[in-house]
Amino acid sequence: MTARWHEASARKNFMPQGYCVKCKAKKEIVDAMEETMKNGRKAIKGKCPTCGAGMFKILGGKASAPPAAPAAPEVPASEPTAPKPS
């Protein structure tokens, strides 16, 4: 077995850790679910294994942005507009 295999297996078994405000200790997050917040950042939401309080941990970088929509066709500025009759 190679070192790469060990690293990959360690990532698969990774239990996210967070700070429980109620217990005032750093613990593993139980029933962890990865979510994307409104601002595009990723976060993990779950429960404390000891007291059952809700735990929330904001992860690094932003999630991948959705592909940009094509821009609306521009109207050439060289065309004069007709004056409106009054």
Instruction: Note the pLDDT tens digit of each residue in 19-31.
Output: 999 999 999 999 9
Global pTM value: 0.54
Domains of the chain, residue spans? 31-61
Q: How far apart are CA 52 and CA 72, in angstroms?
A: 51
Q: Rounded to whole angstroms, what are the CA distances from 66 to 37, 44, 59, 61?
A: 14, 21, 19, 15
Query: What pLDDT score was predicted for residue 9?
Result: 46
The DSSP H or E segment spanning 55 is: strand 54-62
Query: What pLDDT score was predicted for residue 51?
Result: 95
